[in-house]
């Protein structure tokens, strides 16, 4: 069973550009969450999608957005990139239905560097 | 808001000794907790979880203890091995099943051979 796949693994962008990251969850998982990981802040929750709907959103500016497709694959987009957006972006998938807390499986992450 | 934090940023342990990593959480609504291990260059990997109706759960060489009274949980690793060297995160999740998980900063475990 394939794990969570994130592409690309590494990305370098310049300030002001926009970027799209992709996440393919484990087959059968309908919940996909995105996190930003930096040395100073640790893992920060961005948003969570379930069956193409955003169910939860963290405290990030509107420049950060996401979506989920009917096959549960998800993308996140960051517009007008800032230097402070440099981070490891992690995607996690889980079975999580509306009532059950379940384990999340993480991908390897996309390392974004903004220069 | 909810926060989950760790008491120590770095822990050095002699190979073969037991390790204890601590974590405090602030939101009483958290009822599901997970410990993750993250090795360099990799995403977090599930170690063990515990629900709020339990105070102890054991896995292979790992034990998680939950004290809801003081909002504290710990991860115990028995007979620590060099392969255990990593950053360990605790995560708390509120009731409802939504994946709004809150992570602590992380504790770096260094195993001394």
**pLDDT digits 0-9 by tens, B22-62:** 998 887 778 889 999 999 888 999 999 999 899 999 999 99
Mean of the pLDDT values across residues A28-33? 91
Residue A89 to chain B, least CA–CA distance (Å): 10
Q: Is B30 on the interface with A (CB under 8 A)?
A: no
pLDDT digit string, tens, across residues A44-64: 889 999 999 998 888 899 999
Among B32, B42, B30, B22, smallest CA distance to B89 is for B22
pLDDT digit string, tens, across residues B92-110: 887 665 556 777 778 999 9
Q: Do A96 and B32 touch (CB under 8 A)?
A: no
For residue A99, give the chain B residue with the closest CA. Answer: B97
Residue A43 to chain B, least CA–CA distance (Å): 6
More confident residue, B69 or A104: B69
Residue B89 to chain A, least CA–CA distance (Å): 9
Residue A80 predicted with pLDDT over 90:
yes
CA distance A62 to A84: 15
The first and second tokens of residue A98, run together, are 């509306």
Residue B86 predicted with pLDDT over 50:
yes
Judge whether B58 and A15 are in contact, CB under 8 Å. Answer: no
Among A87, A110, A90, smallest CA distance to A35 is for A90
For residue A102, give the chain B residue with the closest CA. Answer: B97
């Amino acid at each position: 069973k394939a794990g969570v796949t994130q592409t690309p693994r590494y990305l370098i962008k310049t300030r002001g550009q926009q970027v799209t990251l992709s996440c393919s969850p484990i087959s059968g998982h309908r919940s996909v969450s995105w996190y930003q990981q930096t040395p100073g802040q640790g893992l920060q929750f961005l948003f969570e999608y379930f069956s193409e709907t955003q169910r939860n959103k963290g405290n990030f500016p509107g420049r950060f957005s996401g979506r989920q497709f009917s096959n549960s694959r998800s993308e996140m987009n960051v517009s007008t990139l800032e230097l402070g957006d440099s981070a490891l972006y992690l995607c996690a998938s889980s079975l999580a239905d509306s009532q059950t807390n379940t384990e999340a499986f993480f991908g390897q992450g996309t390392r974004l560097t903004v220069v | 808001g909810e926060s989950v934090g760790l008491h120590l940023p770095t822990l050095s342990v002699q190979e073969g000794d037991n390790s204890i990593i601590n974590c405090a959480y602030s939101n009483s609504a958290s009822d599901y907790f997970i410990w993750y291990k993250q090795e360099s260059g990799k995403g977090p990997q599930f170690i063990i979880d515990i629900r709020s109706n339990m105070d102890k759960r054991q896995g292979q060489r790992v034990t998680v203890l939950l004290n809801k009274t003081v909002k504290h949980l710990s991860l115990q690793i028995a007979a620590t091995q060099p392969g255990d060297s990593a950053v360990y995160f605790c995560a708390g999740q509120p009731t409802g099943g939504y994946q709004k998980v809150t992570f602590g900063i992380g504790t770096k475990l260094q195993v001394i051979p």
